[in-house]
Protein backbone atom coordinates (compact mmCIF):
# COMPACT_ATOMS: atom_id res chain seq x y z
CA UNK A 1 0.00 0.00 0.00
CA UNK A 2 1.35 3.41 -0.97
CA UNK A 3 0.50 6.48 1.09
CA UNK A 4 0.56 10.06 -0.10
CA UNK A 5 2.89 12.63 1.44
CA UNK A 6 0.09 14.30 3.50
CA UNK A 7 -0.90 10.89 4.89
CA UNK A 8 2.70 10.18 5.97
CA UNK A 9 2.97 13.60 7.57
CA UNK A 10 -0.30 13.04 9.43
CA UNK A 11 0.74 9.58 10.63
CA UNK A 12 4.12 10.92 11.73
CA UNK A 13 2.48 13.73 13.68
CA UNK A 14 0.21 11.26 15.49
CA UNK A 15 3.20 9.08 16.41
CA UNK A 16 5.18 12.09 17.62
CA UNK A 17 2.32 12.92 19.98
CA UNK A 18 1.55 9.37 21.16
CA UNK A 19 5.01 7.91 21.72
CA UNK A 20 6.26 10.51 24.22
CA UNK A 21 3.01 10.28 26.19
CA UNK A 22 3.39 6.50 26.45
CA UNK A 23 6.99 6.85 27.62
CA UNK A 24 6.10 9.57 30.13
CA UNK A 25 3.31 7.40 31.55
CA UNK A 26 5.79 4.57 32.13
CA UNK A 27 8.42 6.66 33.92
CA UNK A 28 6.52 7.00 37.26
CA UNK A 29 5.81 3.26 37.26
CA UNK A 30 9.45 2.38 36.67
CA UNK A 31 10.51 4.81 39.40
CA UNK A 32 8.00 3.22 41.81
CA UNK A 33 9.25 -0.28 40.98
CA UNK A 34 12.88 0.72 41.45
CA UNK A 35 12.00 2.31 44.79
CA UNK A 36 10.21 -0.88 45.87
CA UNK A 37 13.33 -2.94 45.13
CA UNK A 38 15.58 -0.40 46.88
CA UNK A 39 13.40 -0.64 49.99
CA UNK A 40 13.44 -4.43 49.78
CA UNK A 41 17.25 -4.38 49.63
CA UNK A 42 17.38 -2.13 52.71
CA UNK A 43 15.10 -4.57 54.52
CA UNK A 44 17.43 -7.45 53.64
CA UNK A 45 20.44 -5.54 54.96
CA UNK A 46 18.54 -4.90 58.22
CA UNK A 47 17.65 -8.61 58.31
CA UNK A 48 13.97 -7.69 58.59
CA UNK A 49 11.86 -10.43 57.01
CA UNK A 50 8.56 -8.60 57.58
CA UNK A 51 9.76 -5.55 55.66
CA UNK A 52 11.45 -7.72 53.02
CA UNK A 53 8.11 -9.31 52.06
CA UNK A 54 5.98 -6.16 52.56
CA UNK A 55 5.56 -5.68 48.80
CA UNK A 56 4.79 -9.33 48.02
CA UNK A 57 1.09 -9.94 47.41
CA UNK A 58 -0.63 -12.20 49.94
CA UNK A 59 -0.95 -14.93 47.29
CA UNK A 60 2.54 -14.50 45.83
CA UNK A 61 4.88 -17.29 44.80
CA UNK A 62 8.59 -17.35 45.61
CA UNK A 63 11.07 -19.93 44.33
CA UNK A 64 14.45 -19.87 46.03
CA UNK A 65 17.88 -20.75 44.65
CA UNK A 66 17.51 -24.45 45.37
CA UNK A 67 14.10 -24.61 43.70
CA UNK A 68 11.90 -24.69 46.80
CA UNK A 69 8.50 -23.08 46.26
CA UNK A 70 6.97 -20.86 48.95
CA UNK A 71 3.27 -20.17 48.40
CA UNK A 72 2.09 -16.89 49.86
CA UNK A 73 3.63 -13.92 51.61
CA UNK A 74 3.56 -15.63 55.03
CA UNK A 75 5.56 -18.66 53.88
CA UNK A 76 8.13 -16.41 52.20
CA UNK A 77 8.40 -14.26 55.34
CA UNK A 78 8.84 -17.29 57.61
CA UNK A 79 11.59 -18.70 55.40
CA UNK A 80 13.46 -15.40 55.30
CA UNK A 81 13.08 -14.89 59.05
CA UNK A 82 14.82 -18.26 59.51
CA UNK A 83 17.59 -17.25 57.09
CA UNK A 84 18.06 -13.86 58.78
CA UNK A 85 18.46 -15.51 62.16
CA UNK A 86 20.63 -18.27 60.71
CA UNK A 87 23.17 -18.50 57.90
CA UNK A 88 22.36 -15.06 56.47
CA UNK A 89 22.27 -13.10 59.75
CA UNK A 90 25.39 -11.06 58.88
CA UNK A 91 24.85 -10.72 55.15
CA UNK A 92 24.97 -7.63 53.02
CA UNK A 93 23.04 -7.57 49.74
CA UNK A 94 23.58 -5.39 46.69
CA UNK A 95 20.99 -5.42 43.92
CA UNK A 96 21.61 -4.31 40.36
CA UNK A 97 18.46 -3.84 38.32
CA UNK A 98 19.19 -5.03 34.79
CA UNK A 99 15.82 -4.51 33.19
CA UNK A 100 12.35 -3.23 34.02
CA UNK A 101 9.89 -4.32 31.36
CA UNK A 102 6.44 -2.79 31.73
CA UNK A 103 3.67 -4.86 30.20
CA UNK A 104 0.87 -2.40 29.74
CA UNK A 105 0.04 -0.29 32.77
CA UNK A 106 -0.68 -3.08 35.25
CA UNK A 107 2.20 -5.57 35.01
CA UNK A 108 5.98 -5.63 34.91
CA UNK A 109 8.85 -8.08 34.75
CA UNK A 110 12.06 -7.08 36.49
CA UNK A 111 15.43 -8.78 36.13
CA UNK A 112 18.13 -8.20 38.74
CA UNK A 113 21.54 -9.49 39.69
CA UNK A 114 21.95 -9.82 43.43
CA UNK A 115 25.33 -9.97 45.15
CA UNK A 116 25.43 -11.43 48.66
CA UNK A 117 28.40 -11.22 51.02
CA UNK A 118 28.95 -12.04 54.69
CA UNK A 119 27.10 -15.35 54.85
CA UNK A 120 28.02 -18.05 57.36
CA UNK A 121 27.16 -20.86 54.95
CA UNK A 122 25.18 -21.45 51.77
CA UNK A 123 22.20 -23.74 51.18
CA UNK A 124 23.02 -27.33 50.21
CA UNK A 125 24.25 -27.64 46.64
CA UNK A 126 24.97 -23.92 46.23
CA UNK A 127 28.55 -22.81 45.65
CA UNK A 128 29.91 -19.28 45.91
CA UNK A 129 30.16 -17.52 42.56
CA UNK A 130 33.61 -16.44 43.71
CA UNK A 131 35.24 -16.73 47.16
CA UNK A 132 32.95 -15.08 49.74
CA UNK A 133 30.45 -13.91 47.11
CA UNK A 134 27.16 -15.40 45.96
CA UNK A 135 25.55 -13.86 42.90
CA UNK A 136 22.05 -14.72 41.81
CA UNK A 137 19.61 -13.64 39.17
CA UNK A 138 16.24 -12.72 40.61
CA UNK A 139 13.30 -12.35 38.27
CA UNK A 140 10.20 -10.60 39.59
CA UNK A 141 6.71 -10.41 38.17
CA UNK A 142 4.83 -7.41 39.52
CA UNK A 143 1.22 -6.35 39.23
CA UNK A 144 -0.36 -3.04 40.12
CA UNK A 145 -3.00 -3.67 42.77
CA UNK A 146 -5.08 -0.80 44.15
CA UNK A 147 -2.59 1.65 42.66
CA UNK A 148 0.50 0.03 44.24
CA UNK A 149 3.03 -2.34 42.70
CA UNK A 150 3.06 -5.79 44.30
CA UNK A 151 5.38 -8.73 43.67
CA UNK A 152 3.20 -11.63 42.60
CA UNK A 153 6.05 -13.98 41.73
CA UNK A 154 9.81 -14.10 42.19
CA UNK A 155 12.41 -16.69 41.28
CA UNK A 156 16.02 -16.65 42.45
CA UNK A 157 18.62 -18.57 40.43
CA UNK A 158 22.22 -19.04 41.56
CA UNK A 159 24.95 -17.91 39.17
CA UNK A 160 27.45 -20.74 39.18
CA UNK A 161 31.19 -20.11 39.20
CA UNK A 162 32.83 -19.90 35.81
CA UNK A 163 34.75 -23.16 35.20
Give per-residue pLDDT as tens, 111-149: 999 999 999 999 999 999 999 999 999 999 999 999 999
Q: Which domain holds residue 109?
A: 5-158
User: How many residues in the chain?
Assistant: 163
> What is the tens place of the pLDDT at every residue in 9-58?
555 555 555 555 444 456 999 999 999 999 999 999 999 999 999 999 99
Residue 45 included in any domain: yes
- What total number of domains does the chain contain? 1
Residue 39 included in any domain: yes
Cα(80)–Cα(67) distance, rounded to whole angstroms?
Answer: 15
The pTM for the full model equals 0.83
Is-contact 111 53, C-beta < 8 A?
Answer: no
Cα(91)–Cα(73) distance, rounded to whole angstroms?
Answer: 22
Residue 150 included in any domain: yes
- Give the DSSP H/E element, type plus range, for residue 43: helix 5-45
Residue 143 included in any domain: yes
Residue 163 included in any domain: no
Looking up residue 100, the CATH number of its domain turns out to be 3.10.450.50
For residue 132, the 8-state DSSP code is T
Amino acid sequence: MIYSRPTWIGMSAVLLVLIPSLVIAQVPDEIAIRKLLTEQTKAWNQHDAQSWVRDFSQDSDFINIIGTHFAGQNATRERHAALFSGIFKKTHLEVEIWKVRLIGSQAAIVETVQTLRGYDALPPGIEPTEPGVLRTRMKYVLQKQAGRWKIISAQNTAIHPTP
